[in-house]
Amino acid sequence: MNLPKIENEDLAGKRIFLRVDFNVPLENGTVTDTTRIEKTLPTIDLLVSKGARVIIGSHLGRPKGKVNPEFSMKPVFEKFKTMVEHSVVFSDTVVGSDAEKLSKNLKNGEILILENLRFHAEEEENEKKFVKALASLADVYVNDAFGAAHRAHASTEGIAHELPSFAGLLMRKEIETLGSLVSRPAKPFVAIIGGSKVSSKIKILKNLTDKVDHILIGGGMAYTFLKSRAIPIGNSLFEKDYEVQAYQLIDNAGIQGIDLQLPVDHVIADSFSDKAKSKSVDKMGILDGWMGMDIGSKTISNYEKVIKEAKTIFWNGPMGVFEMDKFANGTLQIAKAVAKSKAVTVVGGGDSIAAINKAKLADKITHISTGGGASLEFLEGKQLPGVKALLNGEK
Ligand code: AMP
């Protein structure tokens, strides 16, 4: 995929609308994790070094189309200012005369951060007038918001049809890395898929079945797979509507010669709580009154063996209820095994990334994808609207 690059463009004096994903976690009005900001800094630094005038737009949370101070970009602006040496100003509005004036007053190399794009319902509606108003702030559009590329919103899709459009460095890195996973992965290719629900992961599992050599399943979704094979799962998470699809996926993997592994032992609890009574059980089945909360030690060791031999690894979703310390071991051990591996390692999804960060292993991973939903949809084989618009947009 040849996404249009900014490196060779003459952008001096040009106003750039840079869409980023600064949807960062906030606590009491301060940013608690700057990963998403950091990942975009190479693009921002490049634009500034070219003498561009950079207008940054992002969404933050779900204000549902209404102005809501709880979701203001102001704290993000305050944090951002401390992370760069550039001159940065804030606009309380997204579109309209004040925002336009601020964008016109920018000097070469200066940055303007706009208020939350989603304070306008028109953003998510990709409404034409709003698209034009956003586009009127700038001469060129650069999209570095891979995490929002699966949405066809005004600032991620519509605007690309109004201005000469380019992909930022992060956007290109995400697409190139995820693209190489599906087009030419070094083998063996191992997919580790966990998390709560089969329903949200079934499509990616189906799509990966053509490409991978091993699928290691963990987390709450493993229990629907076990139950589909008539293994008792007690009160564990179970999605009846996906039982048949889970059954068929195991069958298809077998037919295609793919090694699909399920947990063979568990850490179980008598309720969904960190205060619950819990124990390890050396069995695949779970008795009534108990629920599976984490993969057990045999499963960890089975998965570690596969991970050790891998040349490519994609990991999405925790192996257990890792937010509760008692049930975090499986996820942590898998994070360590992935970090230790010599394979090309790609981790996507907020929870798996949180586990990697908690274990301070982020620098041992080849690529941490900033887009949970976007990376899943990309690997499901879907064309992301934000990416498609860059390919088809004006030049
Ligand atoms: P997802 O967003 O689908 O990747 O799921 C992440 C969530 O799955 C986390 O909040 C975990 O607590 C949850 N989870 C993982 N393992 C289990 C389990 N065995 N039972 C219930 N929830 C789980």
Structure tokens at 116: 């939350």
Q: Would the CATH topology of 15-172 be identical to that of 185-379?
A: yes
Catalytic hit among 36, 39, 151, 211 = 36
The finding on whether 195 has its CB within 6 A of some atom of ligand 1 is yes
| 70 or 35, higher pLDDT | 70
Distance separating the N- and C-terminal Cα atoms of the chain: 16
Catalytic hit among 74, 197, 358, 382 = 197
pLDDT digits (tens, 9 = 90+) for 160-179: 999 999 999 999 999 999 99
Q: Where are the domains of the chain?
A: 15-172, 185-379
Burial class for 288, CB neighbours closer than 10 Å (0-12, 13-18, 19+): exposed
321: CA distance to ligand 1 center in Å? 5
- Averaged pLDDT for residues 263-282: 97
Which CATH code fits 15-172? 3.40.50.1260
Total residues found in the chain within this entry: 395
CA angle 377, 379, 380 (to 5 degrees): 60
Q: Which atom of ligand 1 is nearest to the CA of 322?
A: 12
Residue 87: CA count within 13 A, CB half-sphere: 9
**Residue to substitute in 270, 331, 351, 353 for testing ligand 1 pocket (most ligand atoms within 8 angstroms of CB):** 351
pLDDT digits (tens, 9 = 90+) for 112-132: 999 999 999 999 999 999 999
Q: Are 264 and 300 in contact, with CB atoms under 8 Å apart?
A: no
pLDDT digits (tens, 9 = 90+) for 199-216: 989 999 998 888 999 999
304: CA distance to ligand 1 center in Å? 20
pLDDT digits (tens, 9 = 90+) for 300-330: 999 999 999 999 999 999 999 999 999 999 9
SS (H, E, C) 175-234: HHHHHHHHHCCCCCEEEEECCCCHHHHHHHHHHHCCCCCEEEECCCCHHHHHHHCCCCEC
Give the pLDDT confidence score for residue 393 in this predicted structure: 55
Give the pLDDT confidence score for residue 395 in this predicted structure: 46
Residue 394 pLDDT class (50, 70, 90 cuts): very low
- Averaged pLDDT for residues 331-346: 96
- Could you confirm whether 373 is annotated as catalytic? yes
Residue 352 pLDDT class (50, 70, 90 cuts): confident
The finding on whether 185 has its CB within 6 A of some atom of ligand 1 is no
- Could you confirm whether 19 is annotated as catalytic? no
From the candidate CATH numbers 1.25.40.10, 3.40.50.1260, 3.20.20.70, 3.40.50.150, the one assigned to the domain spanning 185-379: 3.40.50.1260
- Averaged pLDDT for residues 358-379: 90
pLDDT digits (tens, 9 = 90+) for 227-242: 999 999 999 999 999 9
Q: Which atom of ligand 1 is nearest to the CA of 223?
A: 19
Give the pLDDT confidence score for residue 205 in this predicted structure: 93
| Of 103, 143, 98, nearest in space to 14 by CA | 103
- Averaged pLDDT for residues 374-389: 91
